[in-house]
């Protein structure tokens, strides 16, 4: 954002001139891929928060939030301009707005250069105004904008006034279920001007404050003010010390709180805090659930790199799926500024001797390697100076490898020079502190037995797509029967239809759909397409379409794995059947492929030498980075978790998504974090549960991309699957009182659309960490109230390793057929602060839940049973260990690449709507009835024990009988179904988490 600094100091006259033009609207041409361009009227809304246009089929969705704009570029710089507008438009009339998580581009052309300059200046001024806004200012701005927007949307006739009927309609939209008499009374109290019967915006603000008066906060204020309607400085100090557990509370601090948050000038003069000021303070960032001190780097940054979790991205350049999406250099800028510290660059030979970056064997677009390096160089250290790891996946010829090395050295310059880095003790990796401002190249290194004079040599070639059979990779052969465009068009339509189908699900799903199902459907559809066009097969050569998708999704047959010697014949067999495994860590890969590597590129790799498991030699060297796909890493974690943790105390490990995740879905990172893996790489372009966990984990410690692992993971070892992994350590007792909710919206994607009724919310709280800590609990349902529901319920949890635990707050709307996802917020356990706190739901402007937090230390083996209701007697009967042993039997499946850490190896059938309704409802709590909490095992698969206990769609271990009892009376399922229905053993339903879950027999 450094280039925005100049726009902060624009003269007021120039700013107003720009704003006036933008709010009046300007006709511009909107370029789109595959079209000539559309003429639209673009304008800035009156709050200066959204860019809108008309006409548009998207209606209300035709808008871009100013907050979501990443950058504005002048001229014809975007890909669409390069493809369509070259030579047709004056560059001074062209500009591009990049926005959103996927760096979408809005490419615009004005009728003259002056209009373009006005829009570019105005947009950059608005971006500069919010770039360094503190959290309090942002919270106040978004609140003010929300109130104003709410008023305008309620004003149906646009006269700037609201009558009583419009107020009633607004109450319904805000999920407020108040008696009409009470609403009319507040309306009359707020209506104080001469124009009786309507509310102006100022009067509406008064009405809204009356309506928003919080009984819970008012009672809290009375309890500390000796039943007065305000707090004195001394009473405020007492509240902060006793309830909020703040230390060093001074008189000056309390006076500052009153000055910032009190509304009444009279109260300010008396140095007292009234209910409005107290409400403002309690809803401010000062009383957020996240520890404000953790917005800055607070951890020890002088330990070796291997002692930190490092925020890592997979296929960083992609904006969407792994088959057809666009590659953009701006994705590197986005993820680096989000805090990611390890980015991936897939390098391939390009035309004219220029290496390119794209996803191999696919139709993703290509970008120049040089542009990628320049972007990384520009944005690597804008937000923080801790080191960036460049994960190079090298597929280039020696000639283009030399070009890669040339660009790295020429552009990064002294950022690559690690000669002065202090490594501290011998045989240790350097620390993040000592590597500040440095870029580490992760890649292959020439073997040491080659002399220094060797210009090139053979190294092993690990391709992240190796787990996909060669026949499934895209082969570019064409004949007169088909073209790349035809095949791309067909696959794109198939992919889009499957994506749409997958969206009929809960927002909590970690995977958008089953990848193997997508491959199978795409393969079958393409074959049908080819049968309808027999001319495609006229040539004796393979056509592009045939070779493109032949066997895409085909399951190779495998025989029973042999556990004894690993002969040459078996090695060949392993290459043909890569699903086989011998059970040994160093033989998890298939037979080695090799490639030529040049000395120049090898010499740039210092502390991050990329190796495969079979290349590991315990010779005391440091600087190896072991790379695993999720499927192979899953086997190691389950079979040798303690040895894996010991390895990760001295070296780095990178885990990346399976190549079969062509939808760019993300695996569950939790098992790998629990084993001490540092570089757990996720697809940052894919929003969902897994990225939310990742974002929460790395938000702490100043969002610098480095989070210190627990001391127990850095020295010594323990079994993460154990029922009591750290018996000598105190545990944390987490007592959470869920008090109330505020302005909870209707679910955006309700199963039957917007049915108009007010939501029935309940809160679910989930602990995510070691398997023994994973559990969840939920409140009762509050009927017909999303504006200010009150639960007043206490949930209690025991956490064995709080340093790695996450706490996830979810709000659901209960209805007769199950539940709909409203919103979530995930926070690291170590960043929770005690006292009365607001939990703001991620991505929602005003929605929050109000809680009280108490954290105690507890000791003793039996404390979980006593203090944590989720700890069932199964733990003490050895069920956890039994499940672990059952999991070990399947470590080396015949086809392990088809499973992942959160998936079982069973085939997943497509569920009918009846199955979905039945499954969704099993976890919905009965209205007015508290639902007991059960143990939750996120990592450990339950297979043979389903008759004893069944895991529901959320992964919660629940006794079957209790699940049935918990169904609401209104559940429209025939009782005869409950006794007769039993899912076959070979089939398992995809749960609402999107997982291939364990069997549930109903």
- Residues marked as catalytic: 314, 358
Nearest to 107 by CA among 121, 125, 91: 91
CB 376 within 8 A of CB 439: yes
Nearest-Å Rg of the Cα atoms of the chain is 30
Work out the number of other CB atoms within 10 angstroms of the CB of residue 552: 22
Which residue, chain included where needed, has tokens 């890969």? 589
CA atoms of 580 and 138, how far apart (whole Å)? 54
Task: Report phi then psi at 800, rounded to 5.
Answer: -80, -40
CB 812 within 8 A of CB 762: yes
Q: What DSSP string runs through 928-992? A: TSPEEEEEB-SSS---TTTTT-EE-TTSBEE-HHHHHHTS-TT----HHHHHH----TT-B-B-T
CA atoms of 997 and 572, how far apart (whole Å)? 34
Instruction: Quote the DSSP letter at residue 852.
Output: E
What is the CA 720 to chain-centroid distance, rounded? 24
Nearest to 462 by CA among 654, 640, 329, 324: 654
CB 511 within 8 A of CB 994: yes
Nearest to 743 by CA among 146, 47, 48, 67: 146
CA atoms of 515 and 318, how far apart (whole Å)? 18
Q: What DSSP string runs through 120-181? A: HHHHHHHHHHHHT--HHHHHHHHHHHHHHHHHHHH-TT-SS-EEHHHHHHHHHHTT----HH
Name 735's bridge partners. Answer: 796, 854
CB 968 within 8 A of CB 783: no
Residues in the chain: 1002
CA atoms of 861 and 535, how far apart (whole Å)? 73
Query: Which pair of tokens denotes residue 392?
Result: 């190079």
Q: What DSSP string runs through 219-241? A: HHHHHHTTT-SEE-HHHHHHHHH
CA atoms of 460 and 899, how far apart (whole Å)? 26
Which residue, chain included where needed, has tokens 């070639």? 461
CA atoms of 335 and 390, how far apart (whole Å)? 13
CA atoms of 404 and 602, how far apart (whole Å)? 11
Taken in order 14, 16, 17, 23, the sign of the CA dihedral is: positive
Half-sphere exposure of 226 (CA within 13 A, CB side): 4
CB 805 within 8 A of CB 754: no
How would you list the strands of the sheet with 94-99, edge to edge? 63-65, 50-54, 38-44, 26-31, 104-109, 94-99, 69-74
List the Cα angle 369/370/371 in 5-degree steps: 90
**What SS3 state is found at 780?**
coil
CA atoms of 920 and 819, how far apart (whole Å)? 7
Nearest to 584 by CA among 636, 528, 627: 636
Instruction: Quote the DSSP letter at residue 68.
Output: G
SS3 content of the chain, % helix, strand, coil (to 5): 35, 20, 45
Work out the number of other CB atoms within 10 angstroms of the CB of residue 514: 24
Query: Which pair of tokens denotes residue 752?
Result: 């039957």
């Amino acid at each position: 954002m450094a280039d925005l600094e100049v726009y902060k100091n624009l003269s007021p006259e120039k700013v107003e001139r720009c704003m006036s033009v933008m709010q009046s609207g300007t006709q511009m041409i909107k370029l789109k891929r595959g079209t000539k361009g559309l003429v639209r009227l673009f304008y800035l809304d009156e709050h200066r928060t959204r860019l809108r246009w008309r006409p548009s089929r998207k209606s209300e969705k035709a808008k871009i939030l100013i907050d979501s704009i990443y950058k504005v570029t002048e001229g014809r710089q975007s890909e669409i301009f390069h493809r369509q507008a070259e030579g047709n438009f004056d560059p001074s009339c062209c500009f591009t707005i990049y926005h959103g998580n996927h760096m979408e581009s809005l490419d615009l052309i004005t009728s003259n250069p002056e209009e373009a300059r006005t829009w570019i200046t105005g947009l950059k001024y608005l971006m500069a105004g919010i770039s360094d806004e503190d959290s309090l200012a942002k919270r106040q701005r978004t609140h003010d904008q929300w109130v104003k927007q709410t008023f305008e949307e309620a004003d149906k006739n646009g006269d700037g006034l609201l009558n009583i009927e419009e107020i009633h309609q607004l109450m319904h939209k805000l999920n407020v279920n108040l008696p009409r008499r009470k609403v009319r009374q507040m309306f009359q109290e707020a209506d104080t001007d001469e124009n009786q019967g309507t509310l102006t915006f100022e009067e509406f603000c008064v009405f809204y404050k009356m309506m928003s008066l919080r009984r819970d906060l008012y009672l809290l204020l009375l309890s500390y003010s000796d039943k007065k309607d305000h707090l004195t400085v001394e009473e405020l100090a007492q509240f902060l010390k006793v309830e909020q557990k703040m230390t060093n509370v001074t008189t000056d601090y309390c006076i500052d709180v009153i000055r910032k948050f009190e509304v009444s000038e009279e109260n300010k003069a008396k140095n007292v805090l009234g209910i409005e000021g107290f409400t403002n303070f309690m809803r401010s960032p000062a009383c957020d659930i996240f520890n404000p001190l953790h917005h800055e780097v607070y951890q020890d940054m002088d330990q070796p790199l291997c002692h930190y979790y490092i925020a890592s991205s997979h296929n960083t350049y992609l904006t969407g799926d792994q088959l057809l999406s666009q590659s953009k250099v701006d994705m590197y800028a986005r993820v680096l500024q989000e805090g990611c510290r390890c980015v991936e660059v897939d390098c391939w030979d390009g035309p004219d001797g220029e290496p390119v970056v794209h996803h191999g064997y696919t139709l993703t677009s290509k970008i120049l390697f040089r542009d990628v390096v320049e972007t990384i160089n520009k944005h690597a250290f804008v937000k923080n100076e801790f080191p960036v790891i460049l994960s190079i996946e090298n597929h280039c010829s020696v000639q283009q490898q030399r070009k890669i090395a040339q660009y790295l050295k020429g552009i990064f310059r002294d950022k690559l020079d690690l000669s002065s880095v202090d490594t501290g003790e011998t045989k240790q990796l350097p620390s993040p502190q000592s590597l500040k401002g440095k870029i580490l190249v992760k890649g292959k290194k020439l073997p040491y037995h080659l002399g220094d004079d060797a210009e090139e040599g053979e190294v092993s070639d690990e391709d992240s797509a190796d787990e996909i059979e060669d026949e499934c990779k895209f082969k570019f052969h064409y004949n007169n029967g088909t073209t790349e465009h035809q095949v791309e068009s067909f696959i794109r339509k198939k992919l889009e239809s499957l994506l749409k189908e997958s969206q009929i699900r809960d927002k909590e799903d970690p995977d958008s759909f089953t990848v193997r199902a997508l491959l199978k459907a795409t393969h079958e559809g393409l074959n049908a397409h080819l049968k309808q066009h027999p001319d495609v097969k006229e040539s004796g050569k393979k056509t592009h379409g045939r070779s493109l998708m032949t066997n895409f999704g085909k399951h190779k047959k495998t025989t029973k794995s042999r556990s004894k010697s690993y002969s040459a014949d078996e090695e060949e067999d392993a290459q043909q059947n890569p699903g086989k495994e011998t059970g040994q860590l160093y033989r998890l890969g298939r037979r080695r492929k090799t490639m030529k590597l040049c000395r120049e590129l090898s010499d740039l790799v210092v502390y991050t030498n990329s190796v495969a498991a079979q290349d590991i030699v315990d010779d005391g060297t440091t600087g190896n980075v072991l790379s695993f796909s999720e499927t192979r890493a899953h086997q190691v974690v389950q079979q040798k978790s303690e040895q894996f943790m010991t390895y990760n105390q001295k070296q780095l490990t990178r885990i990346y998504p399976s190549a079969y995740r062509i939808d760019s879905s993300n695996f569950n990172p939790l098992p790998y974090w629990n084993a001490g893996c540092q570089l757990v790489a996720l697809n940052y372009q894919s929003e969902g549960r897994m990225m939310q966990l990742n974002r929460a984990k790395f938000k702490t410690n100043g969002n610098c991309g480095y989070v210190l692992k627990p001391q127990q993971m850095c020295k010594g070892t323990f079994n993460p699957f154990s029922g009591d992994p750290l018996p000598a350590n105190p545990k944390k007792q987490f007592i959470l009182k869920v008090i109330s909710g505020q302005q909870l919206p209707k679910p955006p994607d309700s199963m039957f659309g917007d049915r108009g009724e007010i939501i029935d919310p309940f809160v679910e709280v989930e602990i995510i960490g070691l398997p023994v800590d994973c559990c969840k609990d939920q409140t009762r349902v509050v009927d017909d109230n999303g504006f200010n529901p009150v639960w007043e319920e206490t949930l209690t949890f025991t956490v064995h390793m709080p340093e790695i635990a996450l706490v996830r707050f979810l709000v659901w709307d209960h209805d007769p057929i199950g539940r709909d996802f409203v919103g979530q917020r995930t926070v690291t356990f170590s960043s929770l602060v005690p006292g009365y706190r607001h939990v703001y739901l991620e991505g929602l402007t005003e929605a929050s839940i109000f809680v009280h937090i108490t954290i105690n230390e507890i000791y003793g083996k039996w404390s979980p049973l006593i203090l944590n209701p989720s700890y069932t007697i199964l733990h003490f009967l050895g069920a956890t260990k039994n499940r672990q042993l059952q999991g070990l039997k399947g470590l080396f499946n015949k086809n392990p690449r088809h499973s992942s850490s959160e998936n079982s190896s069973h085939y997943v059938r497509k569920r009918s709507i009846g199955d979905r309704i039945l499954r969704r409802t099993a976890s919905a709590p009965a209205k007015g009835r508290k639902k007991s909490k059960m143990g939750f095992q996120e990592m450990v698969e339950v297979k043979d024990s389903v008759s004893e206990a069944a895991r529901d769609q959320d992964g919660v271990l629940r006794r079957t009988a209790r699940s049935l009892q918990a169904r609401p009376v209104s559940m429209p399922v025939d009782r005869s179904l409950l006794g007769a229905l039993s899912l076959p053993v070979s089939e398992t339903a995809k749960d609402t988490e999107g997982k291939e879950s364990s069997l549930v027999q109903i």
